[in-house]
Copies of this chain bind each other. A is one copy, B any other.
Amino acid sequence: MYQERKALLNARAKVLKAMAHSTRLFIIEELVKGERCVCDLTDQIGADVSTVSKHLSVLRQAGIVCDDKRGNQVFYRLRVPCIINFFGCVESVLESQAQDHAATLSAVGK
């Protein structure tokens, strides 16, 4: 049952795992607007260039972005723009957590 599906589920998990970091989500959101070079992303994120480069590498290996070297800059773009549609549902999860939190506060009388 599970063993039969494990290979596919692992492949899916790998994609989700690649997205599961605030910096990488930020990069994805930026790339929805259009391609960006590593230096632009690095400026916005405010981390070491090597750190940003490794995050991009994670996204590339997962098949989420692809890159294009022009001159001495490397431009990244989304391979699969529908990625952004994920967030509607993720937001639903966050909202349902918020409701719980509100209910808890209410139960405690705050």
- Residues of chain A at the chain B interface (Cβ within 8 Å): 1-3, 5-6, 9-17, 19-26, 29, 44-46, 62-64, 79-80, 82-83, 85-94, 96-97, 100
Contact = CB atoms under 8 A, between A and B. Distances in A.
A66 B24 CA distance: 28
A82 B89 contact: yes
Contact of A12 (B10, B46, B79, B87): B87
Task: For the complex of A and B, list the 4 residue pairs with the smallest distance between their C-beta atoms, beginning with the closest.
Answer: A17-B20, A9-B22, A16-B20, A63-B97
28 contacts: A2-B46, A3-B46, A5-B26, A6-B26, A9-B22, A9-B25, A11-B94, A12-B25, A12-B87, A12-B90, A13-B19, A13-B21, A15-B94, A17-B17, A17-B20, A62-B93, A63-B94, A63-B96, A63-B100, A64-B93, A80-B92, A82-B88, A82-B92, A83-B89, A83-B93, A85-B89, A86-B86, A86-B89
